[in-house]
Amino acid sequence: MPPKTQTKKMCAKKNCTNINCPFPHPKPYVPPENALQPIKKFVSHGAASFTPPTTAFQYNELPHLILHDHKTNPPPGKHADPIRDEIRRCLNCRKDFMLTIDETEWFNNKGFYLPKRCKECRTVRRKNEQALGRADVVEQKNKLEC
């Protein structure tokens, strides 16, 4: 008896637009040109400070939202994307701070751990470590002279 060969199942629908379809399609799905419809609404970014309103675009046939920042030219590293931005709590001051996707990528590319402290606490900690480092150098220099 010959061994059974498994054939890959293809989607039976000719024009399948289901994004969660488990079967492969002969060609990738391209949404129609009129699929995007702007929806003006406020989207909470979870930050304590006020953030400008965000325009959300929704595909007619797809269940998820694509968020678009309302600012025309945001500064680099200052995205307002609640899906990828991360709110973290500082170890020292216990305040919430936002870690943008660009900052996360930068830390990962450098091989660093993601920060546990807000920017202000990091600068204070760095200055304290530098001051302690100088004190240790002076102390070691005094020991060598004696």
DSSP at 3: P
For 21-37, write each residue's pLDDT tens digit.
776 666 655 666 665 55
Close Cβ partners of 103 (under 8 Å, ≥ 6 residues apart): 77
| Partner residues linked to 54 by β-bridges | 41
Residue burial 87-123, b: 16+ Cβ < 10 Å; e: rest: eeebeeeeeebbbbeebeeeeeeeeeeebebbeebee
For residue 113, give the DSSP letter.
P
Give per-residue pLDDT as tens, 40-88. Answer: 555 555 555 555 555 544 444 444 444 444 444 444 555 555 557 788 8
**Cα–Cα distances in angstroms (integers) from residue 32 to residues 27, 36, 98, 116, 117, in the given order:** 14, 8, 36, 44, 45
- CA atoms of 138 and 89, how far apart (whole Å): 36
**pLDDT tens for each residue of 3-18:** 555 555 656 666 666 7
